[in-house]
Amino acid sequence: MTSELTRAGARADTGAGAPAGTSTGTSHEPAARSRWGLLAQREFRLLWAGESISRLGSSVTSVALPLVAVLSLDAGPLTVGLLNGAVWIPWLLLGLPAGVWVGRLPRRPVMICCNLVSAALFASVPVAGWLGVLTTAQLMLTALLIGTAAVFFNAAHQAYLPELLHRDDLVEGNAKLQGSASAAQVAGPGVAGLTVQWCGAAAGLLVDAVTFLVASAALLLIRDDKEPVRAPVAPAPLHAQVREGLAFILRDRFLRSFLLYAASANAALVGYQSIAVPFLVREVGVTPSTVGLLAATGAVGGVFGAAAARPLCRRLGTARAVRIVLLTATPFGLLLPAAGPGPRVALYAVGSAVLVAGVTLCNIVLGSFRQTYTPPALLSRIVATSMFANQATIPLGAVAGGALGATLGLRTTMWIMTGLLVLCSALLLASPLRKDRDLPTEPATDDWSGR
């Protein structure tokens, strides 16, 4: 689980557009409170159901895709590593311009198109396997194209939610979506294991293809009561619009601080996660089945973090909730390298659960803040730029974790990476977040267009 602040991974109008405060989908009235919260609202219920099913399918694929390479094509460790890395390459190549392109299009059709393309790509693998023509090149190309679809889908999805919900409902909406994603991470590997055992590795990808079709159907059933206000398309070149989104982030003290925290925290998180399995097997001495159970504790923590986000924000305030969670939850990460044989293995489970719960809550609050705070005309660009920066540190963290593990030892590297994660929290505590009860809902100046 990576920080927002990725996925995971992991998700504009022109600079001449309307200023902050322009009417968008967030002008709808807040959802009436009921025991079901936003799930009582038909349109959000469809989005949530489709996304939850799709996340379950993606969790299945995270296990099934490497197994296809290993079992069907006899791929070695290098090939599997390249296959996993291929999914992230489009973020580095297309992350910045994707925000501009998505901003020129209606969000929901972009999401539907990306889902349908992903369904076709995943379905092509088992079909090729059954015909006896599956190759490693096809798997690599599939991973690259799936990653490309994910870039555009996430940029559109993050910009679409504020059009669907009132700004007062964004924390709850993000919490419900993140909670179901964490639950999928718990259930997905088990579903993948049973599917692969009964039907073969390629069948797991067919499961994911079906979930993308279900998600597309759910999006098609959403009724758009009104079109959100869009800024007129200006003739500004692509690089100028990309630069404008980047400049807005770097100039704004809140977005700049949060981006710096997210990028550095991702590197630390992935740094320890990249060596977690060999650490647990060689240093802690657990069995492979126990490794799976310990990995699931983090996802369970994510479910609890998502459930706690809205109540804590209402009681403490958004800024204060993030401060308190960072101060209390992040240090639990130091329990991970302290784990050992026997009863000490519980330290890893507790540390992972609390740490991921805290990261998930911060993801939800800061992601909701970004959706509310950013001028509508820049939202998809800000989302894409932020996700580009966050994803770029993932391979750096993985390489650093592996290199340090090989030279300094697994346990020492775990101490270094979890210690860095604790230090990353200081970046937020030293930001404007340290003073206020609540995060602002709009920039302090109306001169957001960079002019």
Q: What are phi and psi of 449, to 5 degrees?
A: -85, -5
Q: Is 16 a member of any domain?
A: no
Q: Is 447 a member of any domain?
A: no
Q: Is 439 a member of any domain?
A: no
Mean pLDDT to the nearest integer, 112-124 = 93
Identify whether the C-beta of residue 150 lies closer than 8 Å to the C-beta of residue 8: no
Give residue 207's pLDDT: 84
- Which amino acid does the sequence have at 157? H
With 80 as the cut, is the pLDDT of residue 430 above it? no
C-alpha distances out from residue 408 to 37, 266, 400, 403, Å: 50, 21, 11, 8
Q: Is 296 a member of any domain?
A: yes
| DSSP label of 345 | H
With 50 as the cut, is the pLDDT of residue 384 above it? yes
Give residue 148's pLDDT: 92
**Measured between alpha carbons, how far apart are the two ends of the chain, in Å?**
38
For the domain that residue 243 is a member of, what is the CATH number?
1.20.1250.20
With 80 as the cut, is the pLDDT of residue 233 above it? no
Give residue 448's pLDDT: 45
More confident residue, 299 or 449: 299
Q: Is 444 a member of any domain?
A: no
Mean pLDDT to the nearest integer, 177-188 = 76
With 90 as the cut, is the pLDDT of residue 82 above it? no
Kindly write down the DSSP assignment for every residue of 230-257, as one continuous string.
-PPPP---HHHHHHHHHHHHHH-HHHHH
Full residue range of the structural domain in which residue 192 is found: 35-225+234-434
With 50 as the cut, is the pLDDT of residue 20 above it? no
Give residue 34's pLDDT: 57
Kindly write down the DSSP assignment for every residue of 373-389, as one continuous string.
HS-GGGHHHHHHHHHHH
Q: Is 287 a member of any domain?
A: yes
With 90 as the cut, is the pLDDT of residue 181 above it? no
Q: What are phi and psi of 314, to 5 degrees?
A: -70, -35
Residue-averaged pLDDT of the chain:
79
- Which amino acid does the sequence have at 59? S
How does residue 220 score in pLDDT terms, banded at 50, 70 and 90? very high
How does residue 225 score in pLDDT terms, banded at 50, 70 and 90? low
Identify whether the C-beta of residue 306 lies closer than 8 Å to the C-beta of residue 175: yes
Total of domains in the chain? 1
Nearest-angstrom CA–CA distance, 128 and 132: 6
More confident residue, 277 or 155: 155
Contacts of 143 (CB under 8 A, 6+ apart): 65, 83, 84, 86, 87
Q: 42-51, 74-83, 135-144 — which is least confidently predicted?
A: 74-83
Q: Is 29 a member of any domain?
A: no
| Block residue for tokens 């230090």 | 423
Identify whether the C-beta of residue 390 lies closer than 8 Å to the C-beta of residue 5: yes
| DSSP label of 353 | H
Strongest mean pLDDT among 28-42, 110-124, 355-369: 110-124
| DSSP label of 343 | G
How does residue 446 score in pLDDT terms, banded at 50, 70 and 90? very low
Q: Is 2 a member of any domain?
A: no
Identify whether the C-beta of residue 136 lies closer than 8 Å to the C-beta of residue 125: no
Strongest mean pLDDT among 27-36, 290-299, 306-315, 388-397: 306-315
Give residue 3's pLDDT: 40
How does residue 23 score in pLDDT terms, banded at 50, 70 and 90? very low
Mean pLDDT to the nearest integer, 177-197 = 72
With 70 as the cut, is the pLDDT of residue 29 above it? no
C-alpha distances out from residue 398 to 139, 194, 204, 209, 349, Å: 22, 29, 26, 28, 21
